[in-house]
Structure 1
């Protein structure tokens, strides 16, 4: 404890707020923020309440351990829903709403087609493609009918918003009156920031929906696949309609890699693996491409989330080490938010698309529609240079080892050989998905860079959560004083 500071240990609450009051208020607010703000996708046809509960626990766990990831997930889902909403509107379906798009993206519409026994879950892009080509009829479901399927508890949402708002007002009042704010209250405030962000992104998404709407195809499944060209003729890893859309963002690729790694070690607390082929449901933890404006919104919430921890920069801590560690964690939370966004943006828009092109990766219609972007614009020179740099040398037939050195074409060496080997190694991909899905090929360089960023994130994030409780052992005495609300009311 710094010199000259009066401190107290555990304090009961006869006339002031006690340690238990601080804990209960923060834990209840955190629970409400992380539980009511998440919206899982529709479970499989033979799954029910426990599947939805498990999916919601997974998203809530993500909200506790990595709230900034949750806002990116929500912003990506809203971007996807908004893009398909515009396509339906442009095609003349004026009764289509963004709620319809959310419902489709969460697996609300399934396709039954001749020649395929198992119903196929559709996302909004796939549904639009089928309607546009007259393979299925436009679903006549209204927004009111979708709202009837929404089992979310409006009262719990209202309670969460009211509690979060009151919590913010209380902290502002404490700051105005010069009362100490504990670190656990600041961490709770960071959850509140993410709550408002995800609530806005998911405000049109139905919650706790258990049933789907079946659409019957008017043609054989083979005819639908043949219309997709050579890209649709290859093997699929999700459904036969993979050629229409897949959401293989850089973040989603590395996210699925880490989840599979956790499953091999123990288990993944965030997601359930889909075991059936084709898929019988759409997982709710797939990170999708964000539109620029929503990416900026998500970035603003991430910066606001990280900024909360700086409020305790000059606060009193039990020890000097804890204060310095908190400052280091605050700096890294902000650094991770900014650098992480730039890192993922570079891989999403420039490096990963060009690497897939160089490797002859079969892209879905959705991916090809995204190609006129900065990555593709800059990619002509990058792609040519990439192919020239990593072209394997051609070996000629040789009779003995003595002539081997003359069998390789001579190429001028610009960089030292070890640098070339390092670059070649970093450009290679690693894949630990159960079915070796080539869409989940993870470049080693991308994996290593992301792992370094995430390891430090986990360390500092865990320190913040531990310090929130450990720091309660010794707080400034005015941390237990309550706000004098009468001082804010004009009176004589």
Structure 2
């Protein structure tokens, strides 16, 4: 699916240079009522409705807290919708990371002899689908790693819920999927048809096409994650959390006070923007209740070197480079055109820096550099001792080290400025469009006839 959309983007780039000339031969117009062709409202409505479907209806957020008010759930989804508009490529990154973690959970359970654990189980657990009820603490969610620990050590039996029962909890019906698919495909066909017939394409339509591209990629990565689940599965524990911690022995972190849930020593869901990064920056924190009543949606993905990492890199860079298609589009003023050029370069450069830093840091988080070091050098005692030192530092290091914060803070600010300008410009530029932008595609030219 990504390959089809990528081919469409490349075709748009090949033909759109003639579609939107820098200096149109005809006159320009502001607001245009619908006549025989299309009007400004048609451009706005088609684009905004598609953006809404690509953000609001396609976001697969984690399960909310048990007693959370509906208005809070609605506001959280609205905030994520805004974030998806500001950076749809990062939604794809979160979806990819969640898919990779779900696959790792399947492999972990399979190694322990539990073949009934599926990708849907992995997504469901990591989104807060399983709530444990210990004897001495409030109920709290457990992810796949934590549940695997409890099951393999006899604290609770393997959950009997099937993949089909998990999918029954999903709120995404067939009508919603068909509506999103039809609208996004129809919009893409219209944009492609305009490019083929060399009709001007607005920057708003080009931006919307980018949302379609990222939405299809996120849908593919979230294909096994249920949507808008509200009722989790409860698991009673006969043991107390104190007993679990005592019997954990000398496992790292078991003897320390927990930060999020009593099972942090197994996996502390690190790092999360709401619960870890914001407190360091003295912003408003996320859920303040402990144990955490829900899993936040912003856990940074640890993807590692895999096919999904390559797909993610391709999708993100393709989306960023898509803005270059409008390099020679018509803009109301020369200044706006120059600012668009600068914004395109900034978005690509900052995104590449972000991906490079995350790739390097993922190598430390997963111990990849230690393994490569052993492959490059003989396994003599000196090299083995160095690898042991590297492994010890890896376990003690912060998930997001200080050097990455120093680099990524200005990069994020510059990216945000460039992205904000592009979003504002796609609407501001509607005040002056070439006359050809209001011509409709002549579909009869695509129908074979004698």
What is the TM-score of this pair, normalised by structure 2?
0.85
1:118 pairs with 2:138:
yes
Does the CA contact (< 8 Å) of 1:11 and 1:19 recur in 2? yes
Trace 1:209-220 onto structure 2 (pairs within 5 A): 209-220=229-240
Decide whether the 8 Å contact of 1:247 with 1:289 is kept in 2. Answer: no
**Matched residue count:** 414
Deviation at 1:3, TM superposition (A): 7.9
Task: Output the CA distance in 2 between the equivalents of 1:82 and 1:441.
Answer: 21
Residue ranges of structure 1 left out of the alignment (5+ in a row) = 265-271, 354-369, 388-437
2:270, 2:399 within 8 Å by CA — same for their partners in 1? no
* Structure 2 unmatched ranges of 5 or more: 1-21, 374-382
Q: 1:374 aligns with which of 369, 380, 386?
A: 369
Which secondary structure does the structure 1 equivalent of 2:235 belong to? strand
1:6 corresponds to 2:27: yes
Cα pair distance change 1:51/1:81, threshold 3 Å? farther
Decide which structure has the larger Cα Rg and report it.
1
Query: What is the CA distance between 1:193 and its match in structure 2?
Result: 1.1
Q: Check if 1:243 corresponds to 2:265.
A: yes
- Structure-2 residue corresponding to 1:133: 153
Aligned equivalents of 2:205, 2:53: Cα separation in 1: 14
Tell me the CA shift for residue 384 of structure 1. Answer: 7.1
User: 1:85, 1:97 within 8 Å by CA — same for their partners in 2?
Assistant: yes
Q: Write out per-residue CA displacement over residues 141-170 of structure 1, whole angstroms, 9 at most, x where no aligned residue.
A: 112221222122332222112111111111
Residues 490 and 262 of structure 1: CA distance in aligned 2, closer, same or farther (over 3 Å):
farther
Residue 308, structure 1, aligned to residue 322, structure 2: yes
**Maintained 8 Å contact 1:136/1:216:** yes
Distance 1:293 1:318, change over 3 A: same
Q: Which residue of 1 aligns with 2:291?
A: 278
1:288 shift after superposition: 2.5
> Aligned partners of 2:221, 2:247: CA distance in 1, in Å?
35
Distance 1:120 1:31, change over 3 A: same
CA distance in 2, matches of 1:439, 1:238: 19
SS in 2 for 1:233: coil
The one-character-per-residue Cα deviations of 1:112-164 (angstroms, maximum 9, x if unpaired) are: 223x2311210011111111111110111112221222122332222112111
Give 1:72 shift: 1.0
The answer to whether structure 1 residue 227 and structure 2 residue 222 are counterparts is no
Shift of 1:330: 1.3
1:240-268 Cα offsets, whole Å, 9 max, x none, are 1011113435xx4699425874845xxxx
Q: Which of 149, 153, 156 is matched with 2:169 structurally?
A: 149
Q: TM-score, normalised by structure 1?
A: 0.78
What corresponds to 1:349 in structure 2?
363
Deviation per CA, 1:152-205, whole angstroms, max 9, x where unpaired? 233222211211111111111101101000000011111111101111111111
Task: Quote the residue 1:182 is aligned against.
Answer: 202
How far 1:88 moved relative to its partner?
A: 1.9
**8 Å Cα contact 2:131/2:235 also seen in 1:** yes
Give 1:89 deviation, angstroms: 2.6
Determine if contact 1:30/1:191 at 8 Å carries over to the other structure. Answer: yes
C-alpha change, 1:139 and 1:281, in structure 2 (3 Å) is same
Conserved 8 A contact 2:274-2:296: no
Matches within 5 A, 1:86-101: 86-101=107-122
User: CA 1:254 to 1:143, structure 2 compared with 1: closer, same or farther past 3 Å?
Assistant: closer
C-alpha deviation, 1:462, in angstroms: 0.8
Partner of residue 43 from structure 1, selected from 47, 64, 70: 64
Task: Map Cα deviations across residues 421-446 of structure 1 (whole Å, 9 max, x no partner).
Answer: xxxxxxxxxxxxxxxxx997864432
Which of 161, 184, 198 is 2:218 aligned to? 198
Q: Residues 55, 127 of structure 1: CA spacing in aligned structure 2 closer, same or farther, 3 A cutoff?
A: same
Partner of 2:106: 85
Change (3 A) 1:382 1:4: farther
The secondary structure found in structure 2 opposite 1:450 is: helix
Partner of 1:430: none
Distance 1:179-1:151 versus aligned 2 partners, 3 A rule: same
Which residue of 1 is the match for residue 6 of structure 2? none
RCO greater where, 1 or 2, for CA within 8 Å and sep 6 or more?
2
**Structure 2 equivalent of residue 455 of structure 1:** 413
Post-superposition offset of 1:236: 0.5
Q: Does 1:475 align with 2:433?
A: yes
User: Which residue of the other structure, out of 190, 215, 228, is the alignment partner of 1:208?
Assistant: 228
2:339 is aligned to 325
**1:121/1:280 contact within 8 Å kept:** yes
Please give the per-residue CA displacement for 1:395-428, whole angstroms capped at 9, x wherever unaligned.
xxxxxxxxxxxxxxxxxxxxxxxxxxxxxxxxxx
Shift of 1:226: 2.4
Distance change >3 Å, CA 204–CA 479, structure 1 → 2: same
Q: Secondary structure at the match of 1:283?
A: coil
Could you say which residue in structure 2 is the equivalent of 1:299? 313
- Structure 2 equivalent of residue 53 of structure 1: 74
| Match for residue 444 of structure 2 among 465, 472, 486 | 486
SS in 2 for 1:214: strand
